[in-house]
Structure 1
Amino acid sequence: MEHYDWNDGWLFAPVFTPALVQPDRAEELTPVRVPHTVKPLPYNYCNENDYQRLSGYRKEFFAPKEWEGRTVLLTFGAVAHDATVFCNGRRMFHHGCGYTAFTVDLTAALRLGQKNVVAVRCDSREDLNIPPFGGQLDGLTYGGIYRAVSLDIKEPAYLRDIFIEAKAEGDFRIYSSTVGETVGCTLQAEIRSPSGSRALYQGELSLPIVGTLNGVHPWSLEHPSLYTLTVRLIRPGTNGLPDRVLDERSTRFGFRTLQFVAGGLYLNGQRVELRGLNRHQSYAYQGYAMPDSIQRLDAQLLKKELGCNAVRTSHCPPSPAFLDACDELGILVFTEMPGWQHLGDDTWKAQALQNCREMVCQYRNHPSIFLWGVRVSGSADDEAFYKRTNETVRRLDPTRPTAGARSSRKSQLLEDVYAYNDYSYRGRGPGCEARGNVTPDTRKGYLISEFGGQQFPAKAFDDEPHRLAQALRYAAVLNDSIAQQGVAGSFGWCMTDYNTHREFGSGDRVSYHGVMDLFRNPKLSAAVYASQKTPRAPSDIVLEVSSGMALGDLPGGIPVACWVFTNAESVRLYRDNDFVAEFAPDRRGRFAALPHPPIEIQDFVGSLLEKYEGLDRAAAPQVAAILNEMRRDAMELSPLSRARMLSLRLSAQELLRMYYKYIGVLGSPTSVYRFEAVWHGRAVKTVIREPVQSVRLECTVHNPILTDGPTWDCAAVSLRAIDQNGNLLPYCSEAVQLSVEGPVEILGPSVVPLRGGMAGTYLATTGEAGRAVLHCKMEGALDTEAVLTIRCREESRA
C-alpha cells in the first residue's frame, strides 16, 4: 500500500484539444498546482462567462515495474464540473458532478517502466445537463481541479469503503465493501480512543462487525470527542506463513445519537437549539480553489468568532477539510445535494441521484453531519424523484434524518424534517411564520433553513442606520425562531458575501447578503451572532456598538437608535468621563428569547443633570426622560412631556439649551463616549467613540504559519482602517498597496481598495520554506507589515 499526493506537476491548457491527452504531446502549457481555478476573477464586476470553458489538465509520471500485479487508483477530490480522465490517450472515466470525489482505476492503461500521461478534460460550462445547471443560479460555479488529487497503489483486492454506526452508549456496527478476489479473507477493526487506547474486533466480509465499546466519550458540541476506526483486509497465511494485510482504511468518527422530532433536535438526549448560517464555499478571486487551511478557517470563524453551533453547506457537499474542522470544533452540519431550484430531465435526475449516493458514502462517517439534504434547494415537489432520493439516502445511512430546503408552504413532505426558507420578516411583526401554517405534518421536525439575505442586504460601506437595520432583523428572526415551540433553529442567509450572476446581487456581481464580506471581515450583523456565545473568560466578551456617535452620519443630524450587541452582564456608559447610566439586557422585551439580547442605549443623560444643573433627585430623572425622548423622536415632544415641562416650570428655551448640551445637534461640541462591558462585576472590555484623530492600517494574518505540502498553502489576511481607539472607519476607501518578500505570492491584485473600511488578500506558498513578510502601504497611515512562517512537508511522489 503506497499513497502519493498528486497536487504538483500539473500542466494547464485554457482550451482543451484532443491532442492534450496523447502521450507524446509537446506543447507550451502552463504549470499549475492543485487546487486550481480555470480563471481567477476580479472582486466585483466579474464576468461569469470567463470561467465557462472546456479546458484541460495534463500530468506526466513514471510508473515503476514494481507496480506489476497491483492496482493503481487515482482520486480527484472534486473537478468542476464535468470531468473525463484519460491515461496514455485512453479514455478511462467520466464523472458528472463538480462537488464529490471520484476514483479512476488506471491499472489497465499503464506502461510500466515508462513515462505515462494522465489528462483531464474539464468542462465548466453552465449549459451542462447536470446539477446544479439548467436554470438561473444565484452564485457562481467556477471551474477546475479545485480539491486535492492523490494516487494509491494497492493489491488487486482492497477495501473500497468503510462505514461505522456508533451510538452515544458505545454500541457500534461496522460495514465494509471490497473490490477484487477476497475469498478466504477476514476483517480486523481497530478503534482508537482520543487517549490512545485501542480495541480490536474480528469480522467476516459478508457481515457487519458489531460490538460495544465501554466508557466512551460521546461526541457533542461542547466536547467533540473523536475516535479513529481502522479496518484491515487480511488474507490468512498458509503453510506456516503469517497473515498478510492486503489493505487498510482509516476514518475518524464520533459516538453520538441523533433524534429529530416535532420538539426539535436532540443530540445524545439533550435538545440543541440550532443557531447557524449558510455557507458558500467560494472566495474572492479564487472561486472554489482554496487549500484545506482556508476551508478549515471558515469553520473556526463560524464557531469561535460568530458563535454558531451549526452550518448549512449551500448548496452542495463541502470540502472534506471543512467537515474535518467541524468534527473537531463541534459544529453541526446540514449538507445537501447539489442544485438550486431547477429540476431537469431524466438524465439530469439520474445524475442527481448519483450525486446523493456519492455525498452520503463519502461523508457519512463525519459526526458533525446531522442532516442530509435530499431535495434540490427551493425546487418544486416531484414525488417520484424525491421518493428515490430519500430511499437511497436512508438505505446508505439509516442513522441520520433527511430534509430538503423549500420555499413554499405545505409542500409535500417525504423527508423527516421540513426545512423552510422563511423570508417573511419585513422589519416588523413576527420574525418568522408560524410552524403550523407552513409544514403539512407537525409531528415531524421543522427548522428554518434560510432567512434574511435578499430581504435586506447590507454592504459594509452602507450608512449607519442601514447597517443597524440589518443587524436588528437578524436578531428578530433568531429570537422568534427560538421563542416558537417546535422550531429546531434557524440558518441565516448567509455567512459571507459572494460573487453571483448578473440576474442577482447588486449589479456588480456581488450578493451582499452576508454577515461578513468576501474576505470574511465582519459586518455589524456578525455581532448579533457573536454576542450569543456563552463567555467563559474575559476574552470571550463581545462589545459592538452600532453607532459611531457622529451626528452628521444620521438623517437630519438627529441622533437616533444606539444598540450594543454584547454577551456581557451589563454595559456602562460614560460621557466625557462622567458616568451616565448602566444598562442590562431587557429580559421581557423584543429580544427576550435570545441568550444575550442586544441592549438599546436609551438614556444619554443619566445623573448628569444633578451634577451639572443642580436639579434635585425628583426633577432630574423627569427632565432626563424628556431629553431622551426628544433624542429618540427627532426633538418632538409628547403630550406627557409637555405636561411634565409645565409641572417642572421648565421653559422651552431652557429645555433646548440642555438638549444642545447633553444630547447635541450638528455644530455642537463633540463629546467622548465610553462604553464598558461588565462581566462578573468588573469592566472587561471598552469601546470609545470620539472624533477621529489618527488613522491606522491594521493587518491581521489569520493563519501566519503555513505548510507547503501536500499542496500549496494559503494565508488569509484582513485589512482594516481604524482610529486611535481601534474603531473601524467604515467610510475609509483608500487603496492599500501590497508587496511581499519571501516564498509567498499575492493572489489577486497588489493594490486593493478598502470597502467599508475593510479589505483583504490571500498569500499562497510557492513550494519553498522560509520567512515571508507582507508590506502594506496606505495614504494617511503609517506603513504596516505582517510576518509569516512557511514550512515544507516532505512528501512522497510518483
Structure 2
Amino acid sequence: MKKIDLNYNWYYIADFKPSYIEAHMDDVGFEVVHLPHTNIELPLNNFSEESYQFESFYKKEFYVEPLLDEHVYMRFEGVMTYAEIYVNGHYIGEHKGGYTPFEFDITPYIHEDAFNMLSVYVDSRERDDIPPFGHVMDFLTYGGIYREVALIYKNVCHIKDLLIKPEDVLTKPKLNMSFDLLNLSQEDKKVTLECHLYNENKQVFSCSRSESLQDTKNINWIEEVGNIQLWSVDAPNLYEVVICVLEDNQVIDKNKVRIGFRQFEFRRDGFYLNNEKHKIVGLNRQQSFPYVGYAMPKSAQYKDADILKHALKVNTVRLSHYPQSNHFLDRCDELGLLVLEEIPGWQHIGNEAWQEVALQNIEEMIKRDWNRPSVFMWGTRINESNDDHDFYKKTSEKARELDDSRAIGGVRCIKNSELLEDVYTYNDFSHTGNNAGLEAPNKVFKEKKPYLITEYNGHMYPTKKYDDEAHRVSHAHRHMRVLDALYGDDHITGAIGWCMFDYNTHKDFGSGDKICYHGVMDMFRIPKMAAYAYASQQRKEPILHVGSSMNIGEHKSGFLTEINVFTNCDWVNFYRNDAFIKRFYPNRHRYGHLPSPPICIDDFIGECLEKDGLFSSTDGKLVKKLLMKANKSRGNLRIMDKLKLGYILLKYKMTTLDMENLYTKYYGGWGGKAAVYRIDGIINNQMVKSVTKGHIFAPTLKVELDSTVLSEEATYDVTRVVVSLRDEYNNSITYANDAFQVITSGHIKVIGPDILALIGGSMGFWIKTTGTYGDGFIEVVSPRFGRLKKRIQVKDLRSLNIDENIR
C-alpha cells in the first residue's frame, strides 16, 4: 500500500457551476488554496451564519503511476457537508455528512502514467437530509474540504476494516484481530499473513498463518502475546501492530495500526481502567477555531489535546457533538486522554433518510477509531434528543455489532429516559450557584446502572474573560461545586464540563454576537479563572492562581473582603508589603470532597496589630475582629460592635479618623499607600510557587508563540501567538484593550485580520506556512509599546510524508 497526500495547490472557487467539472485548470476566478481549507474566512463575531452556507467547487491535478496489480483509491477525511466526487469528468460517488471519512475506488476512471483531474462539488448548506441539520443548533458547521485528502494504491489482494481488540490484558494478553481479506483479481490466491507487534520500534512478538481465497474472506485471528505494558491515563504505553500479506514470499500489502493494551469497565460504583477505579473528570470540546472554523491542521489539533492534558489537567474529553480530527485523537492516544466519541447531532432526529445517514455515520466513526486505546465509549444517541425506541435500538445494535469491546452511551437531558445503552449519560444543569453541584443519580434515573454526567454549567453562567472579578470568581466556584459533588458520590462515574473554550454559534444562542461564552478558556485557548479550578485538582505540578487583582475598586463599595486562591498547595503564606500576615489552608469546610479545595484569604491583619505595639494582646484581637467585621459588612457595624469600638477609642485616646487610617493601612482603602501583596504556595514545607500583586505603574506588552519552528509535511503548519499586557509582576492585566497590528514577512502569513485588539488583557491569533521554506518574521506593532519582533523557522518535510509501506 502506498499513500500520497494531496493537500497542496488545489484550485477553488466559491461559486459552483456544473461546467466546472470538466473545465481546464486555468479557469478564470479560481484561487490556489491548500488543505485543510475553509470555504470562507469569517469575522470573530457579529456575522451571519449563512455566510458559509453555499455551494463551492474544488479541483486538483494529480499523477497516477503505472499500476502493478493495484487499485487506486481516493480518500477524504472530511468534507462539510455534502460532496460529489468526479475524476476526469466521470462521476465517482457522493458522501453525506461532514464529520466522517470516505473513499472511492477510482481505478476504472484514471489514466496510468499520466496526470488526472479530481473535481469536488461541495454543498455546505444546512440540509435537512443530513445530520446534524433539520433544526437550529448551538454550534456552527462551517464549510469546505477542511480535512486531508490522499491517493492510496492498494494491491488487488489487501486487508480492509482491520479491527484489533486487546483482550485479557490483566492475565494473558491477547490480540483478537479481525478483518476482511479482499481478492479483487480474477484468480484464486494463496497468501501468508504475518503479524508483528512492536513497542518503541522493537519487535516483541510475531506469528503467521496461511490462507487460500477466491474473493473476499473474513479473517478472525487470536494470538497470545506474552508480557506487555498497559495503557493508562498516567502511562499511555503504545504498541504498533503490523500485518503483512505475502504472496510467493513477497509482501504485497502491509497495514500498520497503533494500539494500547487496556481494560475499560463501568460498574455501579464507578469507572475502572485496568481494574483501578478512576473518576472521569473532563471537558467538552468543539473542534472550531476563530476565522477558519474547522479547517486547522495537525499541530493545532495536537495543541488542543496538550492543553486539556497539561494545562487543564483533566483525564477525559467528550467530542461534542460529532467525530473530530484523527490528529486530535492520535494525540489523545499518546497522552493518555480518555475520549467519549459520539455521532453528529443536536436535539433533532430527522426522517427515515436522515436516520439512514446517521447509521452510516456510526459505522464510519467506529471503523475509523475502533483501534484507538483512548476511546472508552461510543455515543449512539443524538445529543439531548428525546427518546426514539426504534431508532436508538438500531444505533445501539449497529455499535455493538461493529465493536463489542466498549460501552455505549447516549447523551440525554431528560430524566428516566429509556436506556438502550450500557451507561446512563446525562447533562445535569441543575447547579445555579448556591444549591448542590449535581443531582443525586436516583433522582435522575431509577435503574441501578452506571451513571455519567456529560455536561454541566456552560450556558447556566456565561462568562467572558473580561467580566468583573466577582463574576469570574463565581464562575470558577460553580465548576468547583460540581467537581466537589462528583468526588463526593461513588455512584457518579464522572463529570464532563461544558466546555473547554468559547465557540461561535447560531443566532439563538450565545450572547447575541455569535459567540457562546461557555468555556473555561476563550476562543484562543487563553484561560479564564475557571480553568484553574481544573488544573489545581492534581499533585504532579504546583498550581497557584490568585483570583484577584487585589484592587479595592474592583469590589463593591471598595471593600476587599476575601481573596480566592486556586491551588493544590498544602497552604499559602500571605504577605503585605513584605510583612507576614498569616498562613491560610484549603477550605475543606466548604469543599469537603475536592482533592484540592481553593484557599480563602479573608484576614488582612493577622497579628500585625499586636506586633506593631499599638494595642495590648487582648485589645489587638478585639480591634482586629472589629476591623474585619467592618470590612465584611461594608462599615455597617452592629450596636454591640459600635460600643466595643467606642471603648477602644476612649481607652487609647483615638479618634474615628485614627481608626479609619488604621483600616486604610491594612485594607488599602482610598487614599492609602499602594500595597504590594505576596502569596507563597507551600508543599511539603517547601515554597514551590509565588505570586505578587500590586498596583500597575509600568505595564509591558508580551508576545508568546507556541512554537518557533514550523514544518510543512502532509499539510501546511500553524502556530498560535498570544499577545498580552502584563504588570511589573508578570500578571495579566485584565482591563486592557490596546490595539496592535500584525505584520508578517518571509514564509508565513497571519490567519484572519492583521489589526487586532486585546480582549480582557490578551489576544491570540494563528499564523501559517505558505508552501515555501526558510525564515519568517512576525512583528506586533503597538502605538503605545512599539514593535516586538519574533522569528519563525519553516522546514520542508514533505518528502518524509509519503507512506510507502509496500508497492
**One fold, TM greater than 0.5?**
yes
Asked if structure 1 preserves the Cα contact closer than 8 Å seen for 2:175 and 2:223, the reply is yes
Find the counterpart in structure 1 of residue 373 from structure 2.
367
Distance, in Å, in 1 between the alignment partners of 2:638 and 2:626 is 9
Alignment partner, residue 744 of structure 1? 748
- Partner of residue 383 from structure 2, selected from 352, 377, 380: 377
Q: Which residue of 434, 447, 451 maps to 1:428?
A: 434
How many Å separate the matches in 1 of 2:729 and 2:514?
A: 34
Q: Is the 8 A contact 1:23 1:88 kept in 2?
A: no
Counterparts of 1:286-685 in structure 2, within 5 Å, are 286-442=292-448, 444-535=449-540, 540-587=541-588, 589-637=589-637, 641=641, 645=645, 653=656, 655-685=659-689
Residue 222 of structure 2 is aligned to residue 221 of structure 1: no
Counterparts of 1:60-75 in structure 2 under 5 Å?
60-64=61-65, 66-67=66-67, 69-75=69-75
Aligned mates of 2:58, 2:218 — CA distance in 1 = 40
Name which of 212, 215, 218 aligns with 2:224: 212
Whichever residue aligns with residue 458 of structure 1, its letter is: T
Mapped partners of 2:346, 2:655: distance in 1: 61
In the alignment, structure 1 residue 59 sits paired with structure 2 residue 60: yes
Letter in 2 for 1:176: F
* C-alpha contact 1:699 1:718 (8 A) present in aligned 2: yes
Q: Are the equivalent residues in 2 in contact too, given 1:412–1:440 (CA < 8 A)?
A: no
Moved more, 328-337 or 771-780: 771-780
Matched AA of 1:257: Q
Deviations 1:296-327 (A, max 9, x none): 00000001001111110100111111011111
The CA deviation string for residues 209-231 of structure 1, in whole angstroms up to 9 with x for no partner, is: 21222221100011000000111
Contact 1:161–1:177 (CA under 8 A) maintained in structure 2: yes
Give the match for residue 97 of structure 1: 97
Q: Which amino acid aligns with 1:465?
A: A
Alpha carbons of structure 1 residues 365 and 638: separation in structure 2 relative to 1, 3 Å? farther
Percent identity of the aligned residues? 35
Letter aligned with residue 31 of structure 1:
V
Deviation larger for 343-352 or 782-791: 782-791
Mapped to 1, the partners of 2:135 and 2:38 lie a distance apart of 23
Q: Secondary structure at the match of 1:406?
A: coil
- Superimposed CA distance per residue, residues 266-304 of structure 1 (whole angstroms, 9 cap, x where no aligned partner): 000001111100000000111000000000000000010
Residue 197 of structure 1 and its aligned partner are, at CA, apart by: 2.7
Answer yes or no: is the 8 Å Cα contact 2:128–2:354 preserved in 1.
no
Deviation at 1:613, TM superposition (A): 4.3
- Give the CA deviation at 1:720: 1.0
Instruction: Give secondary structure in 2 for the equivalent of 1:621.
Output: helix
Counterpart position of 1:40: 41
- Asked if the contact 1:542–1:567 (Cα under 8 Å) also holds between the matched residues in 2, the reply is yes
280, 292, 295: which one pairs with 1:274?
280
Measured in 1, the distance between the counterparts of 2:574 and 2:420 equals 53
Tell me if the contact between 1:23 and 1:116 (Cα under 8 Å) persists in the aligned partners.
no
Q: Which runs of 5+ in 2 are unaligned?
A: 212-216
Contact preservation (8 Å) 1:4, 1:152: yes
1:124-152 CA distance string (max 9 Å, x none): 10134111101111111001111111111
Alignment of 1:726-765 (within 5 A): 726-765=730-769
Aligned residue pairs total 785
User: Which deviates the most, 569-578 or 781-790?
Assistant: 781-790
By how many angstroms is 1:737 displaced?
1.2
Cα distance, 1:24–1:646 mapped onto 2, change above 3 Å: closer
Counterparts in 2 of 1:327 and 1:644: CA distance versus 1, 3 Å: farther
Q: Matches of 2:660 and 2:511 in 1, distance apart?
A: 43
Bigger shift: residues 647-656 or 219-228: 647-656
- CA shift, 1:616, in A, is 3.3
Amino acid at match of 1:726: N
How much has 1:750 moved relative to structure 2?
0.8
Q: Of 790, 794, 798, which residue of structure 2 is paired with 1:790?
A: 794
Task: Provide the rounded CA distance (Å) in 1 between the counterparts of 2:640 and 2:327.
Answer: 61
Counterpart residue type for residue 362 of structure 2: C
SS at match of 1:333: strand
CA contact (8 A) 1:583 1:601 kept: yes
In structure 1, what is the equivalent of residue 134 of structure 2? 134
Q: Does residue 110 of structure 1 match 2:120?
A: no
SS at match of 1:527: helix
Structure 1 residue 781 corresponds to structure 2 residue 781: no
Query: Contact 1:702 / 1:716 at 8 angstroms: preserved in 2?
Result: yes
Instruction: Name the SS for the 1:678 alignment partner.
Output: strand
Contact (CA 8 Å) 1:68, 1:112: kept in 2 or not?
A: no
Secondary structure, in 3 states, of the residue corresponding to 2:612? helix
Report deviation, 1:195.
Answer: 6.1
Give 1:166 shift.
0.7
CA displacement at 1:638 relative to structure 2: 5.0
Query: Residues 782 and 615 from structure 1, CA distance in 2 versus in 1: closer, same or farther, beyond 3 angstroms?
Result: farther
Per-residue Cα deviation, 1:755-785 (whole angstroms, up to 9, x for no partner)? 1011011110112222222111223325323
Stretch of structure 1 that moved more, 197-206 or 12-21? 197-206
Do the aligned residues in 1 keep the contact of 2:664 with 2:670 (CA within 8 Å)?
Answer: no
Offset at 1:194?
Answer: 3.0
State the distance in 2 between where 1:186 and 1:206 align. Answer: 15
Give the Cα separation in 2 of the matches to 1:590 and 1:664.
28
CA RMSD across the alignment: 1.9
179 and 553 in structure 1: CA distance in 2 versus 1, 3 angstrom threshold: same
- Take 1:502 and 1:652, find their aligned partners in 2: how far apart are those partners? 60
Q: Letter of the aligned partner of 2:385 in structure 1? A: S
Counterparts in 2 of 1:684 and 1:637: CA distance versus 1, 3 Å = same
Q: Does the aligned pair in 1 maintain the 2:180–2:219 contact within 8 Å? A: no
Contact 1:426–1:455 (8 Å) recurs in 2: yes
Q: 1:656 to 1:118 in 2, by over 3 A?
A: same
Q: Is the 8 A contact 1:202 1:209 kept in 2?
A: no
Deviations 1:464-494, CA, capped at 9 Å, x for gaps: 1111111111111111111122111111111
What amino acid maps onto 2:564 in structure 1? W
Q: CA deviation at 1:522?
A: 0.6
The Cα shift of 1:186 comes to 3.5
1:83 aligns with 2:86: no
Structure-to-structure mapping, 1:2-41, within 5 angstroms: 2-22=2-22, 24=24, 26-28=26-28, 29-41=30-42
SS in 2 for 1:185: strand
**Tell me, what secondary structure is at the counterpart of 1:58?**
strand
Retained in 2: the 8 A contact 1:19–1:25? no
Which is worse superposed, 654-663 or 245-254?
654-663
Note if contact 1:531-1:566 (Cα within 8 Å) is conserved in structure 2.
yes
8 Å CA contact retained: 1:162, 1:231: no
Structure 2: how far apart are the matches of 1:784 and 1:632? Answer: 44
Cα-to-partner distance string for 1:649-681 (whole Å, 9 max, x where unaligned): 778926444222211333333211111111232
Q: What is the aligned partner in structure 2 of residue 240 from structure 1?
A: none
Following the alignment from structure 1 to structure 2, what is the Cα–Cα distance between the partners of residues 417 and 779?
A: 56
Partner of 2:190, secondary structure, is coil
Alpha-carbon deviation of 1:730?
0.8
1:638, 1:393 → 2: CA distance?
66
SS of the residue 1:248 aligns to: strand
Q: Which residue of 1 aligns with 2:214?
A: none
Q: What is the CA-CA distance between 1:641 and the residue it aligns to?
A: 4.6
Alpha carbons of structure 1 residues 591 and 15: separation in structure 2 relative to 1, 3 Å: same
The offset of 1:591, in angstroms, is 1.6
Counterpart contact for 1:72–1:152, Cα < 8 Å: yes
Q: Is the 8 A contact 2:712 2:798 kept in 1?
A: no
Amino acid at match of 1:83: A
Structure 1: 5+ residue stretches without partners: 238-242
